[in-house]
Chain A
């Protein structure tokens, strides 16, 4: 594909050929899709959330249908950080020249730090996304992202070992004041922020009178969350000076543009990949036409204009 400079964006020193990035947990470790289409057209890929040790995750059912969205309670199933840096990231690098984002999670500040130390030593990873917002694990993930103090502690600990790799903290929408958490992460040295992770929700099976998900609650995502994500990205980008990767309910090129106008520099596509595995490809391909119809000559010019 010929690089279209009007789509290029940058996060600090990292160049993205376009702002479209599949969100963590919705695109595996990238290589799963490389036999389906040429993934080398994507701006970046955020890999499946990884913890220090391998995790099976939660019992099934892990998925539930919702109006204009879905619940998941996968619970950070992953092969562990060593498999990520030794196998998964190098395998993806062989077929992908864009920005590779490791998404790491932990159950203690020390675990976050150790994960990031190992990621920092991996040449195939360009950016670290610190997930303090997974709603599907107990005693980890979201427990760190719902208080400004603990989010800042994780951020500071990770920054000590991240070396030259930019650290983005992925924020939870399940808070009273996301701006307070965002500011705390910025003050603790975060290079940027990703928001939003999923919104905690539930469904009930009317026949069995039990929760649909084996884990009872799960993270709600999909088209229905777009307005919430836009509002939070807008609030945070006005309150902070570090860049934002916007995530939540994005399903089309016009959603990407709306998210960038709200304040995002890079836009992640999540649940839409699950209903249409070709979603990111289709969005990248339709972006120039959508920009043209809106009179946008260079996509950078719209970032944070609202």
Chain B
């Protein structure tokens, strides 16, 4: 964890209610895809945890959805403004757990924290099958960015406005992979975990207090006892998670 003062480079709506935020500042505390930042906002007591999409060359990129007053306020901030951020939080995905080929299944905004994971998997010679599910075409994010990494996302929408119509589990089939990763709505991740015979990881979400493991405000039940989503997670092994 590191407290960093970032400057907003851009903050634009790129999908329905979904913003892409680019910050300039020290990114050295981020190591793995799936980690997050906790952003302080004027007028709000608690920080807002937002997953890191990617980072490098002193730039941190994140996607967030406007879901309440805090993210609404963030969406109105202009380039040049400064943000007080706790950076490099959470454990992130373990790309090394996959030995040969990975299935990555994301729902909605879950496409964001998986981005660096997919990049790292590809960079280390693993093959990646990527399924991205959205409610509707207007929610789709990061499709071109994933293509630029060299992976063609299999897109599914609930209403059929983009890609296949239905749920991510409708198109999964019998995946040929030795490890899987999933990030998105809990009900989707649960369905994915229950379908998969191989081991995998899922990134959980919970309302947080501190974001760094000192308040126990975001504890979840696991097979290895109570664990803090912010500090022990947010990524947990399939077999640990008690849905």
Q: B44-61: which residues lie under 8 A (CB-CB) from chain A? A: 44-47
Q: Which of B47, B213, B216, B219 contacts A275 (CB 8 A)?
A: B47
CB of A275 within 8 A of CB of B206, answer: no
Judge whether B27 is part of the interface by a CB distance below 8 angstroms.
Answer: no
Partner pick for A36 among B212, B216, B217, CB 8 A cutoff: B212
Asked if B45 and A57 sit within 8 Å, CB to CB, the answer is no
A274 touches B216 (CB 8 A): no
Which of A24-32, A153-161, A190-198, A232-240 is the interface stretch?
A: A24-32
Once A28-B213, A275-B47, A277-B86 are accepted as A-B contacts, the answer to whether A62 and B207 lie under 8 Å apart by CB is yes
Docked complex: A29-73 residues within 8 A CB-CB of B: 32-33, 36, 48, 56-57, 60-70, 72
Residue-wise, chain B 202-225 has the 8 Å CB interface mask toward A (1 for contact) of: 000011111011111111110000
Give the residues in chain B near A223, CB-CB below 8 Å.
45
Interchain CB contact under 8 A, B45 and A68: yes
Q: A172 to B231: give the CA distance in the assembly, Å.
A: 30
Q: Give bound CA distance, A74 to B208, whole Å.
A: 11
Q: Is B209 touching A56 in the complex (CB atoms < 8 A)?
A: no
Min CB distance, A271 to chain B, in Å? 8
Interface residues of B in 176-217 (CB under 8 A from A): 206-210, 212-217
How far apart are the CA atoms of A275 and B208 in the complex, in Å? Answer: 10
Given A26-B215, A65-B45, residue A56 in contact with residue B231 (CB < 8 A):
no
Q: When chains A and B are docked, how far (Å) is the Cα of A103 from the Cα of B230?
A: 24
B99 within 8 A of A: no
Contact indicator B45/A222 (Cβ below 8 Å)? yes
Name the CB-closest residue of A to B213. A32
Q: Which of B47, B214, B219 contacts A62 (CB 8 A)?
A: B219
CB distance from B205 to the nearest CB of A (A): 10
Question: A63–B47 Cα gap in the complex (Å)?
Answer: 12
Name the one of B86, B209, B216, B231 contacting A70, with C-beta atoms under 8 angstroms: B209
CB within 8 Å for A33 and B45 given contacts A56-B221, A77-B219: no
B216–A65 CB distance below 8 A: no
Instruction: Identify which of residues 134-152 in chain B touch chain A, using a CB-to-CB cut-off of 8 Å.
Output: none
Interface hub of A32, A68, A72 (most chain B Cβ within 10 A): A32
Instruction: List which A70-112 residues lie within 8 A (CB) of chain B.
Output: 70, 72, 74, 77
Q: Which residues of A contact B3 (CB under 8 A)?
A: 276-278
The yes or no answer to A273 lying at the interface (CB within 8 A) is yes
Check if B171 is an interface residue, CB within 8 A of chain A.
no
Contacts A65-B44, A65-B70, A274-B209; A60 near B220 (Cβ below 8 A): yes
B residues in contact (CB < 8 Å) with A: 1, 3, 40, 44-47, 70, 86, 206-210, 212-221, 226, 231
Chain A residues close to B by CB (< 8 Å): 25-28, 32-33, 36, 48, 56-57, 60-70, 72, 74, 77, 222-223, 271, 273-278
Considering the complex of A and B, which 5 residue pairs feature the smallest CB-CB distances, nearest first? A63-B217, A61-B207, A28-B214, A274-B210, A63-B209
